[in-house]
A and B are shown apart, each in its own frame.
Chain A
Amino acid sequence: MNIIIANSSPDPIYEQICQQIKNAIVKGELTPGDLLPSIRNLARELRISVITSKRAYEELEREGFIETVGGKGTFVSLHNTELLREKRMQLIEEKLTETVMESKILDISLATLHEMLDLLYKEV
């Protein structure tokens, strides 16, 4: 799994970490039961403060993506499929938004876009 922190990003560092770990989970790069680095290890690797990496983990734990087992470490949660599906839907929505925006820039009509989608849906 890669975590890239952009200093230029308007998002706080802990949010960037949360987002990327969530993405890795949704994409299946991280699967339920996978062991995550410890808070202090993550802080050292990314050169961030312990508080920041702790906050990222707290956030992910609150949202049910990860679980900390005392003395053993932090693991990717066994998700209920609904949450995961919801997250994946969100991802699709984001990508479609991107596509629509790109299409508008290129002046592609909704009808043309529909046609393209129909074709692709059958082909893939």
Chain B
Amino acid sequence: MENILEVNNLSKSWPGFNLDQVSFSIPRGYIMGFIGPNGAGKTTTIKLIMNLIHKDSGEIKVFGQDHIRFQKEIRDRIGFVYDEGYFYEHLDIVVIKQIIAPFYSRWDEKAFQQYVREFHIPVKPKFKDLSRGEKMKFSLALALSHNAEFIIMDEPTSGLDPVFRNELLDILADLMQDDTKSILFSTHITSDLQRIADYICFIKQGKIVFCQDMETVLNQHIVVKGPSDILNETTRPLFTGLREHSFGFEAMSRDAAEVSRLMGDRVKIEKVNLEDIMLYTVRGDSRV
């Protein structure tokens, strides 16, 4: 399968932060969700892909081409949605569009007009007077109006209400009807991705924890709850993010077979969602 994005051993560090040997790839035609707590390195990785900041080492290929050497061609084919509108705040959206559109060789004015109508984006005198959701929709309309094959979105849903987040998922689902398009979607609101993402890449403190298809991720992890006396040297290593309380314990495990072999009926085993995985994994660290 052709990869639309390949990141190999990407590293970047500055005082207090270290992006460490990050590697992952996205096949053409699929959505990858990029998750992790705030400060894990999601935005840094995306900025490195877009070559907005310089990498220390590693390789990034977009559409099979080096992201720096072919930066101009690559940017032409990427739709980029930032977590904040980096637009001229005092202009109206028609003017902003007129400034941005000429940068793209395949600008599609008709598509843009249609998105503006569909998204109900009002033409207000100043961009800054738009609501957060409207700004995001405008940013999205621009990203979708130049025949981009690869949409990169950095936290597009943060600070937005569930109604808009739901609308966005509809838009993305429509976009994915075209099997040549791919999406990289970073967020810490994992419920947005639970169903629609094909792959999940989880980053924590600058390191990739896992990068797999969603189904595998959800089937591999379980939440285990049970009485504390089960915990011993053999069973403890099976758990991540173990929390012991007065009435028992709860933890996550990646080894369902071993858990049920050792503990059987004495524990309750539950399905996980992405949020559980993030919570337990992050907690796993803070335990001494």
* Partner-B contacts on A (CB < 8 A): 10, 12-14, 40-41, 43-44, 47-52, 55
- On whether the beta carbons of B173 and A43 are closer than 8 Å, the reply is yes
Q: Is B112 an interface residue (CB 8 A)?
A: no
- On whether the beta carbons of A12 and B214 are closer than 8 Å, the reply is no
Instruction: Give 29 A-B contacts (CB < 8 Å), ordered by A residue.
Output: A12-B215, A12-B219, A13-B215, A14-B215, A40-B176, A40-B179, A41-B177, A43-B173, A43-B176, A44-B174, A44-B176, A44-B177, A47-B169, A47-B173, A47-B195, A48-B195, A48-B196, A49-B195, A49-B196, A49-B197, A49-B198, A50-B176, A50-B198, A51-B198, A51-B199, A51-B215, A52-B198, A52-B214, A55-B215
Q: Report how far A44 CA is from B31 CA in the complex, Å.
A: 13
Q: Report how far A41 CA is from B215 CA in the complex, Å.
A: 19
Main secondary structure on B side of the interface with A: mixed
**In the complex, how many residue pairs between chain A and chain B have their CB atoms under 8 Å apart?**
46
> What is the chain B residue whose CB lies nearest that of A40?
B177
Q: Report how far A50 CA is from B177 CA in the complex, Å.
A: 9
Residues of B within 8 A of A47 (CB): 169, 173, 195-196
Q: Is B29 an interface residue (CB 8 A)?
A: yes
Q: Is B213 an interface residue (CB 8 A)?
A: yes
Q: Report how far A56 CA is from B177 CA in the complex, Å.
A: 17
Residues of A within 8 A of B30 (CB): 49-51
Centre residue among A14, A44, A51 by max chain B CB count within 10 A: A51
Residues of B within 8 A of A41 (CB): 177
Shortest CB distance B113–A (Å): 23
Shortest CB distance A39–B (Å): 9
Residues of A within 8 A of B213 (CB): 51
Residues of A within 8 A of B124 (CB): none
> What is the chain B residue whose CB lies nearest that of A48?
B195
Residues of B within 8 A of A48 (CB): 195-196
Residues of B within 8 A of A44 (CB): 173-174, 176-177
Q: Which of A12, A50, A52 contacts B29 (CB 8 A)?
A: A50
- On whether the beta carbons of A52 and B215 are closer than 8 Å, the reply is yes
Q: Is B271 an interface residue (CB 8 A)?
A: yes
Q: Report how far A40 CA is from B30 CA in the complex, Å.
A: 10
Q: Report how far A50 CA is from B169 CA in the complex, Å.
A: 13
Shortest CB distance B168–A (Å): 12
- On whether the beta carbons of A51 and B214 are closer than 8 Å, the reply is yes
Residues of B within 8 A of A50 (CB): 29-31, 176, 198
Shortest CB distance A6–B (Å): 12
Q: Report how far A48 CA is from B173 CA in the complex, Å.
A: 9
Residues of B within 8 A of A40 (CB): 176-177, 179
